[in-house]
Amino acid sequence: MEKSFGLFFFIKKSKSIKVVEHFIYLHITVDGIGCDISTKRKCDPAKWNGDAGRAEGKTEDVRSLNSYLDLLQRKVYEARQQLLHNGHPVTAENIKTVFHGQEIQTHKYMLMEVFKKHNDQMAELVGLEYAPGTLERFETAYRHTLSFLQWKYKVDDIDINKLDYEFISEYEFWIKSVRKCNHNSTIKYLTNFRKVINRCVRHGWLIKDPFANFKMTLREVERIALTETELQTLVAQQFPTDRLRVVRDIFLFSCYTGLAYADVKKLKRSEIIIGVDGEQWLVSRRQKTDISARIPLLPAALTILDRYKDHPQCQGKDVVLPINSNQKMNAYLKEIADVCGISKTLTYHIARHTFATTVTLTNGVPIETVSKMLGHRNLRTTQHYAKILDKKIGEDMKGLREKFR
């Protein structure tokens, strides 16, 4: 059903100053989108009450005109009721169509057809409005939706007006049980799916939002970071192969800068500049959020950059570090963790968490500054790292308490 509905009569004044009476129109608005209907009747502006939307006076002509306008208003409400009864989208244009006694031209919108069109349009805007990773997530959501339809309904597509709360609940269950996704991953896939559904609702193709009353709350996940001891172990460790040594260095670079894998991979030499303090800064835009990150480079990060300035892969691609695919980086990081005796499951994103907590917050860098360097949209995102810091403080104080017993 529509969220808002309204109508009023108004006079559309003629451009000709010779015209005494002007035509009366009826304006219909549904969810902020409106259209006009001509009443085919006229009125002298001097006799028109704009607030009431009726002519003023007690003459027979005025009473007759106002009765006619009352009749048209009832017809509009009847047209709206007819749309609801027949299951048609309630839009201003559809009300106008029924009002004039015309048939609603129904078009059956199919879910996967709409989903594909959405993704095709998104693909055209990759690099302009969307990152490649965003399109990849929607393509994955598309494949999951198709697999669910085949699993549950034995079909490749479905009329969007058949979607309801039960459909969404079953889809959530399928992602968790069949695809074996955790809760937060499931919610992220449903969020992508919901964007397509919202598009259908806004266009008036879908009468009722199937996500209404469906809760989509992410569960808080503990972010893992390296401790100062683990970080120093990683720095001091000697590796027998260049393969592991290079991966270790690139991982450490992110520990000292907070850059995510995608941002390190595209980082160019031109993005290393002299900052306002005369020191070298890293100035780049985060691929995920397209927000600028400005980071003063620590000596350890500069040492790593200097180590690879003449690397053939860096010179050939005009990048600062010879980074592998994210999959390979994570595989090699697991080897590195074993060599260093680090029990945590080491992934590349842990470097970003380590920068936020062990490198900056733990050493007294204000959370507002850390948020800016991480390229977060708001401080709330950064505050998750502060919670990790509180946990570390508690662990550190536990040892201190033992001393004072």
Q: Rounded to 5 degrees, what are φ and ψ at 47?
A: -100, 5
Query: What is the predicted pLDDT for the residue at 146?
Result: 96
Query: What is the predicted pLDDT for the residue at 48?
Result: 94
Return all residues near 94 (Cβ < 8 A) that are at least 6 apart: 83, 88, 104, 204
Sign of CA dihedral 53, 59, 65, 67: positive
Q: Rounded to 5 degrees, what are φ and ψ at 324?
A: -90, -175
Q: The whole model's pTM is what? A: 0.59
Integer angstrom CA distances of residue 346 from 53, 230, 247, 257: 70, 11, 12, 17
Q: How far apart are CA 388 and CA 359, in angstroms?
A: 13
Strands 54-55 and 272-274, how do they pair? unpaired
Helix (H, G, I), strand (E, B) or coil at 309: coil
Sign of CA dihedral 331, 334, 340, 344: positive
Residue-by-residue pLDDT tens, the chain, 405 positions = 556 899 999 998 877 777 789 999 999 999 888 999 999 999 999 999 999 999 999 999 999 999 999 999 999 999 999 988 887 778 898 899 999 998 876 678 899 999 999 999 999 998 788 878 889 999 999 999 999 999 999 999 999 988 999 999 999 999 999 999 999 999 999 999 999 999 998 887 887 889 988 998 888 777 788 999 999 999 999 988 889 999 999 999 999 999 988 889 888 888 999 988 899 998 887 776 667 788 999 999 999 999 998 888 887 778 889 888 888 999 999 999 999 999 998 999 899 899 988 898 888 888 888 888 887 777 777 777 766 666 666 766 776 777 776
Structure tokens at 315: 């010179």
> In angstroms, what is the C-alpha Rg of the chain?
31
Q: How far apart are CA 184 and CA 319, in angstroms?
A: 34
Integer angstrom CA distances of residue 76 from 29, 131, 152, 205: 11, 46, 41, 21
